[in-house]
Copies of this chain bind each other. A is one copy, B any other.
Amino acid sequence: MGFMAILTTQKSKSVAQVSEEKLIEIIVRSLGRACPPFPAGPGGDCAIIPQTEKAKFRVSTIDSVILGRHFDSSCSGSLAGKKLVERNLSDLAAAGAKPKDALLSLFIGPNVNLAWLKDFAQAVGRTASRAGMNINGGDVCRVQAGQFSATLFVQGFSQRILTRTTCQAGDRLFVTGELGGSLLGHHCHFRARVAEGLWLAQQKSTTACTDLSDGMLKDLPGLIGKKWDAMVDTEKLPLRPAAHQMAKKDGRSALEHALQDGEDYELLFCVKAKDASSFAQKFQKQFPQTRLTEIGFIKKGKGLVRSLKDKQPLLGKGFSHFA
């Protein structure tokens, strides 16, 4: 199959050739079995879902992908659709919630390629289904030529939730997977840590959790809050090979990439000190394929991320500390 770009100059291949009703029909069909039947699915004023969950909490978030911002015009519909769903699932994973419902809002310019859009919707449906989540409905708006964006609302349920700013002094800091250089491919190919997040929420030793979307140096302060400092052993940070590749190209260190690049979509979380070693063993037994690294600990402080070696704050932009 040849390359198919999101925008087309051929009107016969564009969404402009179909009516709004037909366009919605095509999208719903492409979403496939992720769409439940009416009235829980598309076709009414609202999605109407019987309440069967007995979980204590419902957990929801909303996130978008915008052409030109979160993906470019050379990105396939399949990758853009997958990314939209996985980004949202990563937030549910951070809260330890089981994905359940979703609504999809699309802004579509007249020169969007209809085949690209089908590819996109199929990927949204496939990725949602694999996570056990329905696409219960949504909305389509026509926008100006050259524009496309998709916003997904997702909702999950949990008996015990994980959140930020709930860690305590002494807690050990763990991270899943590897960090840095996401732009070389990971940002379109990752799978959200949904199973890991669900399992973490069931462990009483887990005290706080977030997902890494903006980079460790932005997300770690969000995790610990203003009353604690995070002491990080930078030598232990699990560097993605792509972080080294990017370092070779741009002269910044692989560590800088790991701390600042963003789009890792890994889980960063705290575990009670007394449970830390048995925790790591249990985790690896449960998820033998998922790399787990203990990278530091929490102590009283004021919201800083500091180097374990010399106690100095790890700074963003330019990384004077590493110079």
Contact = CB atoms under 8 A, between A and B. Distances in A.
Interface of A: 38-39, 43-51, 53, 55-64, 66, 68-69, 91-92, 94-95, 97, 101, 103-105, 107, 136-139, 141-144, 149, 151, 153, 155-157, 161, 163-165, 210-211
A62 B103 contact: yes
Contacts of A64: 105, 107, 139, 141
Contacts of A144: 68
B143 A62 contact: no
A4 B95 CA distance: 40
Nearest to A61: B46
Given A51-B58, A62-B153, A69-B141, A45 B91 contact: yes
Contact of A66 (B59, B69, B107): B107
Given A51-B53, A94-B46, A103 B60 contact: yes
Given A66-B141, A141-B69, A151 B48 contact: no
Contact of A44 (B45, B49, B138, B164): B164
Given A105-B151, A107-B149, A56 B60 contact: no
A61 B97 CA distance: 21
Given A48-B59, A68-B144, 14 more contacts: A38-B163, A39-B163, A44-B95, A44-B163, A45-B61, A46-B61, A50-B57, A60-B153, A60-B155, A61-B137, A61-B139, A62-B105, A69-B142, A153-B153
A59 to B, nearest CB: 5
